[in-house]
Structure 1
Amino acid sequence: MARETTLPISLADTRDRVKMWAFEEDVETEAMAQLRRISELPWVHGVRVMPDVHVGKGATIGSVIAMNQAVSPSAVGVDIGCGVAAVRTSIRADQLADLHLLRSRIEASIPVGFNAHEELPDLRRYGMETGVLDLFNRFETLDEKVQPLKTRAVKQLGTLGGGNHFLELCLDQEDRVWITLHSGSRNIGKTLADRHISIAKSLGHNQGLVDKELAVFIEGTPQMDAYKHDLWWAQEFAAHSRALMLGLFKEQVAKHFAGLEVSFDAPINVHHNYVREEVIDGQTLLVTRKGAIRAGAGDLALIPGSMGTGSYIVRGRGNPSSYFSASHGAGRRMSRTQAKKNFTEQDLAAQTLGIECRKDAGVLDEIPAAYKDIHQVIEAQKDLVEVVGHLRTILCVKG
């Protein structure tokens, strides 16, 4: 059942600011402490906590923070615009063949880890030329510290990165094949975030904060204007990057199944690390979703689990109690370091049995057991999203 609860904070003036879709006893002590610190900021209207909640840098992952005329760049994080995309194909399970070869083709087409394109792919093939050209024509308006990075940013558009980012092939309950992916704004997003986080920490109104990671910019100041300008740009970069990867992925799938007339449905492409101006409780606020998706009425989204448990396609119910939000994934239940200590490559192979993917030490920290149970996470937010379908992973590319 859904788990909407009010966080038992000792300070009376913050008691009603936090609502959770998780039980306090299931949340790490440090994550609870982070949530309390965030809720006590004077600019915070309210905090909503999703069932995939866990400790994050700057702010708790799986949280939605609504602020009045302020935003914390650390709360947004360094992977500005990180999110997911998905598209259903016309391919059926009984038409699948040689997934190892397909994975090789995908990895050759879409750079992973620290790699980048040697040259930006022909954007005209994917109908993206105008949007991307406009994006990079505005590069000179970004913070001066990132100006030397334009060539790198261009080449990293449409590339995966590492960590928990992925490219997957999945089957739905009708045995239809889906393409899914998870990625963010790469080095340019991180560099912009680091630059503005440093500026925020230096401002006078942030000097008395208990946690300097929660330093904020205030509306109406040049620092806020500069951050929002660069933030919107990085979010746009991330969305374009996912769109380009979808185009490259679809192209490889179509080539691999050349004997079929492959078609693709309209894509889903959503952020889960971002800021947006929204009307909450009758007020226009700046809403930061740190590892959370917008779940407005009818909004379609992808909520991924781990590389062994697949994902869920969901439709938002538009619940105002959660600030129209839902979880962004399963959420980690142990750190990457813990995962590497607790599990072996043999454990990884066993937990990803039947899935075409890497099974080496380089992705051991992404082992399914390091994540919460995605099915329980979905169950805990039934009042936030309606399940459209469950996707079972059959192929996974990691950086």
Structure 2
Amino acid sequence: MKKNKKKETDKLTSSDLVKLGFPAGKPQGTALNVIHTYYTELGKRHQIELLQDVMAAPEQYQIHATLGPLAQVLLAQKAAESIALKPVKQKYAVYGEAGIEQGAIDQMETAMRLPVSRAGALMPDAHQGYGLPVGGVLATHNAVIPYGVGVDIGCRMSMSIYDIHARYLEKNREKLKKILTDNTRFGNASFKRPMDHEIMSRPEFSEIPVVRELKDRAFQQLGTSGGGNHFVEFGTVEIHDADNEFGLPAGKYLAVLSHSGSRRLGANIAGYYTKVAIDACPLPQEAKHLAWLDLNSEAGQEYWLAMNLAGDYASACHHQIHERLTAQLGEAPLAKIENHHNFAWKEKNASGKEVIVHRKGATPAGKGVIGIIPGTMATPGFIVRGKGEAAAINSASHGAGRVMSRTQAIKTFTQPQMRKYLQQAGVDVIGSGLDEAPMAYKDIHKVMDYQKDLVEVVGTFYPKIVRMNGDPKYIEVD
């Protein structure tokens, strides 16, 4: 009798499921049925672990032979409990729609059905991403969406213009290549002795737990650039109009242009708060990565502080990159230009109400605002002045935009093709790979034409010596 009683208590019951936090009703009944039908040979502890796995990620078990029915019940209940999207999307402006893939359009339309959405726009360089598409702009009411900001928080462009004639570059290519390789680091590489910066003394590094854990790595990566499409390059810039914000005569100058973001710091902040948002804001599966944080909540306020810290950190990295190169050139810059994307701003809409404007891969282009829109490593970039177009939510593209994925680019192009393309453009590249082949991007001139109502061109930058991640000779730490 005692033996039978012991066996009976070892059997999984609804009380055990309640302790697990398993949803009541049909999910519990289905769970017990599945366990008692297919998994009786497992011990109770293993049965519980199995159910915990399904409960944590039901989407991974939807087509499982025995656990599929349970996964489907869990997903159905989750959908029923989720925050409903608006039945009809709001209208939004699209620039260069003919060149934008359907996936990006679909993502933007989902974003426009969020209860917190107030306005949106899609830039001509747009392509599919996570949550909000890259090139997407979204204004919300009192809510910030971590994946509406993006993973590389505060990614930005920075340019220094020098009183050095453009001809200097052609006569000193080898010297400038060495300056780039000796004074820049990409990807996992870092400087043996990073330069200090006041950003590391910010109170957020001690007050926000997730940020505190990232401080040491952030210091090691100070003054460095990421992988992917991030770069530092020497080129020539042509100022078209003497009546410019920099007080520069029209003409050609030597310039440094850099593109990078907040490195591991921003990526970890994005990952952590996205999980927090998804837990706090259950949305239907197609909108899952658009989960938001209420700015009145503790998590929302904390993310806002962390996001701004990451943006300022990205700026500090650019400043150090330019400081190192300026020291080698021995010439102080005549002008500096900087703007960022992958960020959220508090702005006023046409009605004077405050909205949170997410620009995920979009350049701020308010009336009179100066920014930089790069092309590829072999095509021009542009210094622009915003026109303040309300339909675009005071925004413009952040680059040319991809026409194919990195994987597809590697499969499509060859090294000889890329070398020939670069040679014809008169560009030397240190590092990089086929994933960043210029041919994998949209025509920057078409992109600029699509947004002529959003920005006017003040100057044109022509890349000549480009440094990116991927050159094995210079990956080692110095």
What TM-score, normalized by structure 2, do the two folds share?
A: 0.74
Find out whether 1:172 has 2:241 as its counterpart. Answer: no
Find out whether 1:184 has 2:261 as its counterpart. Answer: yes
Amino acid paired to 1:225: Q
Determine the structure 2 residue equivalent to 1:356: 428
Q: Deviations over 1:131-189 (max 9, x none)?
A: 43543x531122x2342331210121110111000001111233311110000000011
State which of 199, 205, 210 in structure 2 corresponds to 1:139: 205
Determine the structure 2 residue equivalent to 1:199: 276
Determine the structure 1 residue equivalent to 2:190: 116
Tell me which protein shows more strand as a share of its residues. 1
Q: Which runs of 5+ in 2 are unaligned?
A: 1-85, 239-250, 470-478
Report % sequence identity: 34
Q: Conserved in 2, the CA contact under 8 Å of 1:100 and 1:356? A: no
State which of 70, 85, 89 in structure 2 corresponds to 1:14: 89
Find out whether 1:270 has 2:339 as its counterpart. Answer: yes
How many residues end up aligned between the 2 structures?
368
Q: Deviations over 1:308-363 (max 9, x none)?
A: 102111111122221111110001111000100000011110111121213x7x51
Shift of 1:68: 0.6
* Greater Rg over alpha carbons, structure: 2
Aligned CA distance change for structure 1 residues 393 and 207 (closer, same or farther; 3 Å): closer
Mapped to 2, the partners of 1:167 and 1:145 lie a distance apart of 29
Amino acid paired to 2:218: A
Shift of 1:13: 4.2
Q: Which runs of 5+ in 1 are unaligned?
A: 1-10, 124-128, 255-261
Amino acid paired to 1:272: H
Shift of 1:58: 2.2
State which of 93, 98, 118 in structure 1 corresponds to 2:172: 98
Shift of 1:100: 2.9
Query: Match of 1:347, SS?
Result: helix
State which of 377, 394, 399 in structure 2 corresponds to 1:324: 394
Determine the structure 2 residue equivalent to 1:373: 443
Determine the structure 2 residue equivalent to 1:62: 135
Find out whether 1:222 has 2:298 as its counterpart. Answer: yes
Mapped to 2, the partners of 1:208 and 1:343 lie a distance apart of 38
Amino acid paired to 1:64: V
State which of 133, 150, 153 in structure 2 corresponds to 1:77: 150
Mapped to 2, the partners of 1:164 and 1:133 lie a distance apart of 26
Determine the structure 2 residue equivalent to 1:257: none
Q: Deviations over 1:349-395 (max 9, x none)?
A: 0111121213x7x5111111100011111111111111012111111
Q: Which has the higher contact order (CA 8 A, sep 6+)?
A: 1
Amino acid paired to 1:222: E
Query: Match of 2:213, SS?
Result: helix
Mapped to 2, the partners of 1:345 and 1:279 lie a distance apart of 48
Mapped to 2, the partners of 1:223 and 1:138 lie a distance apart of 14
- Alignment map for 1:216-295 (pairs within 5 Å): 216-254=292-330, 262-281=331-350, 282-295=352-365
Aligned CA distance change for structure 1 residues 392 and 207 (closer, same or farther; 3 Å): closer
Q: Deviations over 1:256-295 (max 9, x none)?
A: xxxxxx3412311111111110001221001100000111
Mapped to 2, the partners of 1:157 and 1:117 lie a distance apart of 8
Mapped to 2, the partners of 1:208 and 1:364 lie a distance apart of 37
Query: Match of 2:220, SS?
Result: helix
Find out whether 1:150 has 2:222 as its counterpart. Answer: no
Mapped to 2, the partners of 1:95 and 1:78 lie a distance apart of 38
